[in-house]
Amino acid sequence: MRSENESDGQKRRSFIEEARRAQIVASAVEVIAEIGFAQASLARIAQHAGISKGVISYHFAGKDELMVEVVERTYGLIAETVGARMQGLSSATELLRAYLLGVAEHMRGHRTQLAALGEIFIHLRGADGRPRYGIKANEEIYRALEGIYALGQESGEFWHFDRRVMAVTQASAVDNMFAYWVAYPEHDLDAHARELADIFERACRS
């Protein structure tokens, strides 16, 4: 039986346990990105990893736990990278531009992760059948963007637009930029991000 020792809510795992989990997560990312969430069965993921299907069930409580771990590992890396890039900036305009360019540059080097993340966000459902990562999962991003907008509106950089609408709009613009890039790999992602920064600078400034 896999060890389930807990401390501070964190599972304590052996190195080979951790390695297996990482390997399975990586295989899941690649399979999902290639054939889509709906077709990415545990059997396919195991086959891609060169292991038996039961290994996944042994290391993960179920498919949902595996998917959640894919999201957490991938998403955590994005937040870390982009957050670091925004450190030290003060003006709202600078922050928004750094966010847009930073996330685009990071994802440019992580295409399969991006595609898999999108698939999981769209398809994964909870036990109740409702989406696990629906629109409401964006609330954290909306709040962060609204904070930047409030900063800009107070400093006079921005006009007094509806911050919620602007946040929903900008977040969707980023999401769709990536979706467009996934569909059209030859599309210039960085140029798109720069153009977006210009567009939203005009949309926001007083």
Partner DNA sequence: TCATTTTCTGACCGCATGGCCAAAATTATA
Partner DNA sequence: TATAATTTTGGCCATGCGGTCAGAAAATGA
Contacts with DNA, residue ranges (CB under 7 A): 1-3, 14, 16-17, 20, 39, 41-44, 51-55, 57-59, 62-64
Contact call for residue 175 and a copy of itself (CB under 8 A): yes
User: Which entry of a copy of itself, DNA, none binds 183, CB below 5 to 8 A by partner kind?
Assistant: a copy of itself
Amino acid at 108: R
- Choose among a copy of itself, DNA, none what residue 36 binds, the Cβ cut-off being 5 to 8 Å by kind: a copy of itself
Kindly state the smallest distance separating residue 31's Cβ from a copy of itself, in Å: 12
Backbone angles phi, psi at 43, to 5 degrees: -60, -45
CB 42 within 8 A of CB 53: yes
- Alpha-carbon span 205 to 73, nearest angstrom: 36
Is residue 81 within 8 A of residue 106, CB to CB? The reply is yes
Task: Specify the DSSP element, H or E, that contains 30.
Answer: helix 15-35
Residue tagged 């629906």 (tokens):
134
Give the whole-angstrom CA distance, residue 68 versus residue 170.
25
Judged by CB under 8 A, the residue of 61, 84, 135, 150 near a copy of itself is 135
Structure tokens at 204: 């926001």
Stretch that binds a copy of itself, among 8-16, 32-40, 51-59, 98-106 (CB under 8 A): 32-40
Residue 149 · residue 175 · CB < 8 Å: no
Residue 52 binding: pick among DNA, a copy of itself, none (C-beta 5-8 Å cut-off by kind): DNA
| Footprint of a copy of itself (CB under 8 A) | 35-36, 38-39, 122-123, 125, 129-131, 134-136, 159, 161-162, 165-166, 168-169, 171-173, 175-177, 179-180, 182-184, 191-192, 195-196, 198-200, 202-203
